[in-house]
Amino acid sequence: RTGRDWSEAWHGGAFVELGEGDVDLAGFLAELEGYAGWLVVEQDETDGHGFEAVARSVSHLLTLLEVPA
């Protein structure tokens, strides 16, 4: 925790596209190996432009999951 409120976090760049932040998403997904249930990923708003930001995030996630685009 940084002690920042939502607005400070937003303006400070805390919400980024998948693969652009500090989360080890590849490591997280590796821990799920063998899991056959649902996986839900939330995309908060980013500094990018709506659909383009989501498209980049989805592309990154599919690459990590080794799913052909």
pLDDT of residue 12: 67
- pTM of the model as a whole: 0.69
* Residue 17: band (very low, low, confident or very high) from pLDDT cuts 50, 70, 90: confident
Whole-angstrom CA distances from 20 to 14, 27, 34 are 10, 15, 26
Tens of pLDDT along 23-46?
899 999 999 989 999 988 887 777
Q: Is the pLDDT of residue 61 over 60?
A: yes
Query: Using CA atoms, how far apart are residues 53 and 60, in angstroms rounded to an integer?
Result: 11
Query: Using CA atoms, how far apart are residues 33 and 30, in angstroms rounded to an integer?
Result: 5
pLDDT of residue 38: 92
